[in-house]
């Protein structure tokens, strides 16, 4: 970056020198007879130097800042008869105007570049200088910056870190074993006898019920899902979905329970356990502190299943209403 900055500064000085040279060579007032061939040669020299400076500052020569070397010839206007031809002084003034216009554009560009350079220098002066490059040891990688800083604080010179010829052995800090059911629980589940009757579907449901009744809730959930997948049109499907929700609720998972209660109620509102699912949906919402949805479920239960609310499920309904303020 320093070399680039110096280059731009040298170009700015060169542009200033050319301006001074142009003014010194042709900028003073002189009579018409003094503008001879020597002055014309000096003016051509200034024009050549301006073009050279433009190529230096603006490499590429796209024609934006100076004309190309070869151009198509243009017709020279023929002066009208009776009009005097242009004098050498007027020609030089035209050329001088062109030179001054080019110098003005060039000076403006140099001033813009100078302003950008000053801003970059100010930013660099306010920032932190980049660290010196660390020499690379061909025998192995060098210590990192954090290792060097830590060693410097301890007063120890860090040694070069060399690659190990043996792969690193990764050992867990603590050996963990997957958590599974204990032997006593497995024996207790095996002790629950699965029914064997002519109705295989009912046997699957009844086995899930026995697991739930024995408070083996995860095993009951697995068994009831198996029953629902194998026999989706069995007569006890409404019982199976409701009991699956009850297992999740008793296990302390009211959100999972609510999903099965809603599914059972919406699947068949006339199902044998649809009233139970709607009521236990309110219980699930109550456990999750969602009073609004609990009240909605209770209201729909009392409207849709008034006989159940006053009969078989009255005690559960009354217990659920206690502690809830429903509008």
pLDDT (tens digit per residue) in 128-150: 454 555 555 544 555 555 444 44
Residue 177 domain-assigned (yes or no): no
Looking at residue 156, its pLDDT comes to 42
Residue 161 domain-assigned (yes or no): no
Residue 203 domain-assigned (yes or no): yes
Q: What tokens does 271 get? A: 């199902």
Residue 162 domain-assigned (yes or no): no
Taking residues 160-178, report their average pLDDT. 51
Distance of alpha carbon 261 from alpha carbon 235, whole angstroms:
17
Q: What tokens does 147 get? A: 């290792």
- pLDDT grade, residue 318 (50/70/90)? very high
Q: What are phi and psi of 71, to 5 degrees?
A: -130, 160
Give pLDDT tens digits for 238-287: 999 999 999 999 999 999 999 999 999 999 999 999 999 999 999 999 99
Give pLDDT tens digits for 204-216: 999 999 999 999 9
Looking at residue 327, its pLDDT comes to 78
Residue 104 domain-assigned (yes or no): yes
Looking at residue 177, its pLDDT comes to 58
The more confident residue out of 187 and 59 is 187
Task: Please state, as a whole number, how many other Cβ atoms lie within 10 Å of the Cβ of residue 249.
Answer: 22
Residue 254 domain-assigned (yes or no): yes
Tell me: do 203 and 311 sit in the same domain. yes
Q: What tokens does 150 get? A: 């830590």
Contacts of 307 by beta carbon, 8 Å cutoff, 6+ apart: none
Contacts of 166 by beta carbon, 8 Å cutoff, 6+ apart: none
Tell me: do 106 and 206 sit in the same domain. no
> Where do we find the tokens 């064997």?
196
Looking at residue 238, its pLDDT comes to 97
Q: Is the dihedral of CA 78, 82, 85, 86 positive or negative?
A: negative
**DSSP state letters, 238-305:** HHHHHHHHHHHHHTT-HHHHHHHHHHHHHH-TTSTTHHHHHHHHHHHHHHTT-HHHHHHHHHHHHHH-
From residue 263, give the alpha-carbon distance in Å to each of 160, 178, 200, 201, 273.
67, 33, 24, 21, 12
End-to-end CA distance of the chain: 76
Mean pLDDT for the chain overall: 75
**Does pTM surpass 0.85?**
no
Pick from 193, 226, 225, 191: nearest CA to 207 = 193
Taking each continuous run of H as one helix and of E as one strand, the counts in the chain are: 13, 0
Residue 89 domain-assigned (yes or no): no
Distance of alpha carbon 65 from alpha carbon 271, whole angstroms:
90
Give the domain CATH number at 221. Answer: 1.25.40.10
Give pLDDT tens digits for 32-52: 444 556 667 777 777 777 777
**DSSP state letters, 248-265:** HHHTT-HHHHHHHHHHHH
Domain containing residue 21: 1-27+40-62+97-111
Tell me: do 200 and 306 sit in the same domain. yes
Looking at residue 169, its pLDDT comes to 53
Q: Among 5-19, 94-108, 185-199, 224-238, which is the least confidently predicted range? A: 5-19
Residue 300 domain-assigned (yes or no): yes
* Tally of structural domains, the chain: 2
Tell me: do 107 and 16 sit in the same domain. yes
Looking at residue 106, its pLDDT comes to 78
The more confident residue out of 100 and 307 is 307
């Amino acid at each position: 970056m320093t070399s680039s900055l110096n280059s731009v500064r040298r170009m700015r000085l060169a542009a200033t020198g050319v301006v001074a040279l142009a003014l010194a060579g042709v900028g003073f007032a002189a009579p018409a007879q003094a503008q001879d061939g020597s002055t014309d040669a000096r003016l051509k020299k200034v024009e050549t130097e301006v073009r050279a400076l433009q190529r230096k500052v603006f490499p590429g020569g796209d024609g934006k800042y100076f004309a190309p070397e070869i151009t198509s010839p243009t017709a020279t206007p023929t002066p009208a008869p009776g009009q005097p031809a242009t004098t050498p002084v007027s020609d030089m003034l035209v050329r001088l105007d062109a030179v001054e216009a080019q110098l003005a554009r060039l000076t403006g560009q140099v001033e813009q570049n100078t302003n950008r350079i000053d801003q970059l220098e100010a930013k660099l002066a306010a920032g932190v200088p980049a660290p010196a490059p660390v020499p690379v040891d061909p025998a192995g990688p060098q210590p990192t910056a954090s290792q060097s800083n830590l060693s410097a604080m301890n007063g120890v010179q860090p040694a070069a870190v060399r690659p190990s010829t043996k792969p690193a052995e990764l050992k867990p800090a603590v050996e963990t074993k997957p958590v599974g059911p204990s032997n006593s629980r497995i024996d207790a589940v095996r002790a629950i006898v699965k029914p064997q009757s002519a109705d295989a579907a009912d046997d699957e449901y009844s086995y899930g019920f026995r697991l739930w009744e024995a408070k083996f809730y995860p095993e009951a959930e697995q068994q009831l899902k198996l029953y629902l997948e194998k026999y989706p049109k069995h007569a006890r499907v409404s019982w199976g979905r409701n009991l699956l929700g009850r297992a999740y609720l008793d296990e302390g998972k009211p959100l999972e329970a609510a999903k099965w209660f809603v599914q059972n109620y919406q699947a068949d509102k006339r199902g044998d356990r649809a009233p139970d699912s709607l009521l236990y949906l309110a219980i699930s919402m109550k456990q999750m502190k969602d009073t609004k949805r609990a009240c909605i479920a209770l209201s729909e239960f009392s409207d849709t299943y008034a006989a159940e609310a006053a009969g078989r499920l009255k005690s559960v309904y009354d217990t659920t209403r206690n502690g809830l303020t429903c509008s």
